[in-house]
Amino acid sequence: MSNTEPGRIQRHSRAVRLVHGANAVATIVLIATGLALGDDISPVLVAALGGHAVANEMHRLGGVAFAVVLLLAAGLFHSPTRGLMRDLVYFRHEECRWPQSFLKCILSPAHGHTAFHNGRFDPAQRLILLLLLCSTALVAAAGVYLYILPATPQWVFLIAIRIHIYGAWIAIIALCLHAFAGLGVLHTHCGLLGAMFGDGTVPVRTARTLWPGWTQKNLHDLKGNPHGPPSHTPS
């Protein structure tokens, strides 16, 4: 058995990539139609979406469908959902040193790797994902309320509108940060695009920088089971 370390390591399965892709498409449609309803994009783009009436129906029906699918998915796949939430909210004491070392790593590539942690996600990634999940939950809850529109005082309606709008802007900011990291613009995130929009692998060097404990464990498991989950060497 070869002891040569692979150049890439499997980060996400095909199923995860497909779900992420579908979620990305649905989110883009909801954001585009929401911005159209608020006249926050060019009238040309609003017309391309079919006008305000069509955008309104797409946003209302699509938003409710999105919320229902998310709830069903969380219920049907409760074990992975619990695992995801546990990985997001459980911060370890060792991770307190990670932000400072990460900043040094960005400013000075020669600095080396970031501080060690055992998380599946790095601390910054977790904060952004938590912000995205919480804001999306608020937007979805307010959106379903506005769709049903029960007989309540006007001030409740106005609060729901504000929660929906402000929550959406927070989610958009979180999504922009998430997309920026995923595009691999920073040298610390080089090659991340393929994790979700490629073969599901990332360079081992990048994985060691962002998720050192996770990478160490998976490389160890790979050596013990070379016929297990694929980890690719450079071609």
- What pLDDT, in 10s, does the model give residues 209-222? 999 999 999 998 87
pLDDT value for 217? 93
Mean pLDDT of 141-165: 92
Structural tokens at position 139: 């937007």
- pLDDT score at 226: 54
Share of the chain above pLDDT 70, in %: 92
| pLDDT of 1 above 50 | no
Q: Among 10-19, 102-111, 113-122, 224-233, where is mean pLDDT lowest? A: 224-233
pLDDT band at 194 (very low <50, low <70, confident <90, very high): very high
Mean pLDDT of the chain: 89
Q: Give the model's confidence band at 231: pLDDT under 50 very low, under 70 low, under 90 confident, else very high.
A: very low
Residue 5 has what pLDDT? 66
pLDDT greater than 90 at residue 10: yes
Task: State what percent of residues in the chain have pLDDT above 90.
Answer: 69
- State both tokens at 177: 């940060």
pTM of the model: 0.86
| pLDDT exceeds 70 at position 112 | no
Mean pLDDT over 225-229 rounds to 53
